Amino acid sequence: MKIVVLDGFVANNGDLSWDEIAGLGEFTAYDRTMPDMIVERAADADVIFTNKVVIDKDLLDKLPKLKFIGVLATGYNNVDVVAARRRGVTVTNVPADSTHSVVQNIFAHLLNIANETALHNDSVKKGGWTHCQDFSYRLTPIIELSGLTMGIYGLGSIGSEVTKIANAFGMKVIAFTSKVPWQLPGYISPVEKDELFAQSDVLVLSAPLTSENKHIVNADTLRLMKKSAIIINAARGGLMDSAAVAEALNRGDLYAVGADVLESEPPTPSDPLVAAPKCRITPHIAWQSGVAREALIRISADNLRSYLSGKPKNVVN
């Protein structure tokens, strides 16, 4: 059995081992694979692993030996799962390898915005405190989270963990969810979508990207939000209409955004959010802790072992 990893560098740049997967067949791992190289590298593969390399219907038609696609991530919108199912190709993902790491990134963004920690650190390093007449100064408002309303769009494993921490901070927690009240902890209040946008002081996006929720944050939903609101997105960049969000920030109709993901990654030089005021961006690192990446490889290997034993799991198609 031939196993090919198409774009393994971001998950494992040499600091981890592929041995758990490599031991299951004839194994090759590529750091990166450009679109015009996919067929050449995967033509004889029974199994491919992809993180962000797009596997669409046309490509599947060119890979007749392919039986299994392992997505090295939770999100699998880069694979045409319907076409794969029709071809009899099993597609799996890694649903919960980085939950705690992603939640940590969400609150890193929120706390940085609330206290502007990085901004004040830069000011001190440049002599701002040394030359200050007072023992203390602030460059921006300092926001206390206790008492604010945290809204969650996407109450899966990540969203659920976020609510626990928000509750510990003394925040009121609301969520747009299909779950009914008796399925939720007592501190979470389910609300309709418009209420979520209107009531949230902090809106956390933690849903997968689907055709139904693409650009769920758009000009219309932004008009429902408070001008003092903060949006945190560590899920998928496509959940936000970048142009509309940047425009709201530029007009002062939105207080701040913390984003670990963008619609285009890497961003284009003209990406509106990169230049937008009060938009704090990290380069899709929420899942990048060593612990999370080790789990990613371990679960991916287990997905393939389970498939080979006839008991596949974490199947998304």
Based on the residue annotation, tell me whether 284 is a catalytic residue of this protein: yes
Which listed residue (109, 215, 280, 284) is catalytic?
284
Letter string b/e over residues 51-61, b meaning 16 or more CB atoms within 10 A of that residue's CB: bbbebeeebbe
| Nearest Cα to Cα of residue 66 among 85, 53, 82, 52 | 85
What residues pair up with 38 in beta bridges, in sequence order? Answer: none
| Nearest Cα to Cα of residue 99 among 315, 293, 292, 281 | 292
Which listed residue (32, 138, 223, 265) is catalytic?
265
| Nearest Cα to Cα of residue 194 among 237, 233, 156, 223 | 223
Give the CA radius of gyration of the chain.
22
| Nearest Cα to Cα of residue 259 among 250, 239, 248 | 239
Is the Cα dihedral 102, 105, 107, 110 positive or negative? negative
Within 10 Å of residue 39's Cβ, how many Cβ atoms? 11
Based on the residue annotation, tell me whether 85 is a catalytic residue of this protein: no
Cα separation, 245 vs 266, in Å, equals: 18
Which listed residue (109, 236, 280, 293) is catalytic?
236
Quote the distance between the C-alpha of residue 313 and its chain's center.
Answer: 22
Based on the residue annotation, tell me whether 236 is a catalytic residue of this protein: yes
Angle at alpha carbon of residue 209, lines to 196 and 113, rounded to 5°: 55
3-class DSSP assignment, residue 270: coil
Active site residues: 236, 265, 284
